[in-house]
Amino acid sequence: MERELALEIVRVTELAALASAPWMGRGDKNSADDAATTAMRTMFDSVSIRGTVVIGEGEMDEAPMLYIGEEVGSLQGPELDVAVDPLEGTEIVAKGLNNALSVIAVADKGQLLHAPDMYMEKLAYGPALVGKLSISDPMETTLYKAADALNKKVSDLTVMILDRARHESIVKVLRKVGVRIKFLSDGDVAGAMAPAFPEAGIDLYVGSGGAPEGVLAAAALKCMGGELQARLMPADAFEYERCVQMGIEEPYRVLTMEDMVGTEDVIFAATGVTPGEFLGGVRYFPDERAETHSIVMRAKTKTVRFIRSIHYLPNKPLLQPS
């Protein structure tokens, strides 16, 4: 993958963010998601790749566009796996909350895990903890190992987790050990990425969330030198068989970074829709301009670029590529 592709990809997330941001706080998550998806699909046509969506809006019969298996790009250029979440945090946008993103990851064909749409247990952390933790350990053991590796008191650790009833038992352990907890209302990708950003002040991300979002987060963490360990959580025989059909022969085994994002190069891009831990949200100005804040990263070079863009939108549809 050429480095120029990184800037092409971020143009796609920018347009998706610009299209969905006007729906912030309007209580209509479906329209926000539709706007982001339509904009992302349109802009992809200008990107010089032969891409195949491996993580998208759903199956062909569930999603009108950006469905799993759909071809995207100009269909000229390298063959790539494409993982997308046009609007990661539809509820966030509907309620006017923080941490909504438009997200894309691309990798050479065959590198990205075809993750089924189900829950995935996750343990994410930054570079200082790589190789030192195991998702198979009890949570209390993980916390003490992390504190020791970071040369901190366990009470000085900050752990992020989605605020969900299913995490009640994990939260009890976190309270018992005495760590600080930062609850996240939504935004699974941003949450799992947070431990790799020192300014976020998060040491670990734990709990369960969507499997597709786990692969996107793993792509980002690979670019930043962090790590995500995971384990799928099929709820019944149907979901178990779905894993097998998608090539995951042992659905309950621990998934490593290599399992999720391969061993080759990965490019990850995200644009903030609403303000978050490490990106600002879309801001519209009265002079037909709008501001976006994006991040684009490449695993091969470990380069992380923060991009602030000012877009001129003189009464033209946001879906028109610039």
Instruction: State pLDDT tens for residues 195-224.
Output: 999 989 999 999 999 999 999 999 999 999
| 68-to-277, 282, 303 alpha-carbon distances in Å | 29, 28, 29
Q: Check residue 59 and give its pLDDT.
A: 77
The pair of structure tokens assigned to 188 is 């699974």
Interatomic CA distance for residues 139 and 186, integer angstroms: 22
Mean pLDDT of the chain: 93
Which of 1-5, 25-29, 77-81, 183-187 has the weakest average pLDDT?
1-5
pTM to 2 decimals? 0.93
Question: In the predicted model, is pLDDT for residue 1 greater than 70?
Answer: no
DSSP string, 53-71: EEESSS-TTT-SSS-TT-E
- What is the set of domains in the chain, with CATH numbers? 4-110+266-312 (3.30.540.10), 119-261 (3.40.190.90)
Interatomic CA distance for residues 291 and 178, integer angstroms: 40
Instruction: Write out pLDDT tens, residues 54-96.
Output: 999 987 777 889 999 999 999 899 999 999 999 999 999 999 9
Instruction: Write out pLDDT tens, residues 262-284.
Output: 999 999 999 999 998 889 999 98
Give me the percent of the chain exceeding a pLDDT of 70.
Answer: 97
Q: Check residue 64 and give its pLDDT.
A: 85
Interatomic CA distance for residues 261 and 104, integer angstroms: 13
Q: Check residue 60 and give its pLDDT.
A: 74
| CB burial string 260-275: b at 16+ within 10 A, e below | bbbeebbbbbbbbbbb
| 62-to-58, 59, 67 alpha-carbon distances in Å | 6, 5, 8
Max Cα–Cα distance, the chain, nearest Å: 57
